[in-house]
Amino acid sequence: MKNILLGVSGGIAAYKSANIISKLKKKGYNVRVIMTKNATEIITPLTLETLARDRVVVDMWEKKYNYDVEHISLADWADLILVAPTTLNIIGKIANGIADDMLTTVISASKAPVYFALAMNVNMYENPILIENITKLKKFGYNFIESDEGFLACNVNAKGRLKDEEEIVKIVENHFTKENFLIGKKILITAGPTEERLDPIRFLSNHSTGKMGYAIAKKCVEFGAEVILISGPTNLENQNNIETIRVKSALEMYDECLKHFSKIDIFISTAAVADYRPKVTSDKKIKKSEGNLIIELERNPDILLEMSKLKEHQKLIGFCAESENLIENAMGKLKRKNLDFIVANSVEYFSKDNNKVFIISKDESIKELEEMPKEYLAEFIVKSIVK
Q: Provide the minimum distance between the beta carbon of 330 and ligand C5P in the complex, in angstroms, as a whole number.
A: 9
- Residues across the chain: 387
Give me the DSSP letters along 305-372: HHHHHH-SS-EEEEEEEESS-HHHHHHHHHHHTT-SEEEEEEGGGTT-SEE-EEEEETT--EEEPPPE
Q: Provide the minimum distance between the beta carbon of 326 and ligand C5P in the complex, in angstroms, as a whole number.
A: 11
Q: Provide the minimum distance between the beta carbon of 191 and ligand C5P in the complex, in angstroms, as a whole number.
A: 9
Strands 226-231 and 186-191: parallel
Which residues touch 113 (CB under 8 Å, ≥6 apart)?
80, 81, 141, 143, 175
Contact present, 355 and 370 (Cβ < 8 Å)? no
Give dist(CA 219, CA 376) in Å, integer. Answer: 9
- Range in contact with ligand C5P (rule: CB under 6 A) among 61-69, 74-82, 240-248, 312-320: 312-320
- Residue 319 in the binding site for ligand C5P (CB under 6 A): yes
Rank residues 142 and 319 by Cβ distance to ligand C5P and give the closer one. Answer: 319
Residues that bind ligand C5P (rule: CB under 6 A) add up to a total of 14
Q: How many CB atoms lie within 10 A of CB 39?
A: 26
Rank residues 145 and 216 by Cβ distance to ligand C5P and give the closer one. Answer: 216
Taking residues 269 to 308 in sequence order and writing x for each that binds ligand C5P by CB under 6 A, - otherwise, the string is x-x-x-x------------------------x-xxx----
Rank residues 203 and 319 by Cβ distance to ligand C5P and give the closer one. Answer: 319
Annotation says 154 is catalytic: yes
- Residue 10 in the binding site for ligand C5P (CB under 6 A): no
Give dist(CA 197, CA 8) in Å, integer. Answer: 55
- Residue 211 in the binding site for ligand C5P (CB under 6 A): no
Give me the DSSP letters along 53-65: TSPPB--TT---S
Of 174, 154, 173, 171, whose CA–CA distance to 163 is shortest?
A: 171
Give dist(CA 230, CA 253) in Å, integer. Answer: 7
Q: 246-265: which residues touch ligand C5P (CB under 6 A)?
A: 250
- Range in contact with ligand C5P (rule: CB under 6 A) among 224-232, 314-322, 346-354, 369-377: 314-322
200 prior amide bond cis, ω within 30? no
Q: Provide the minimum distance between the beta carbon of 300 and ligand C5P in the complex, in angstroms, as a whole number.
A: 5
Among 318, 334, 341, 385, the residue binding ligand C5P under the rule CB under 6 A is: 318
Positions that interact with ligand C5P (CB under 6 A): 190, 250, 269, 271, 273, 275, 300, 302-304, 318-320, 333
Give catalytic residues, as residue numbers.
154
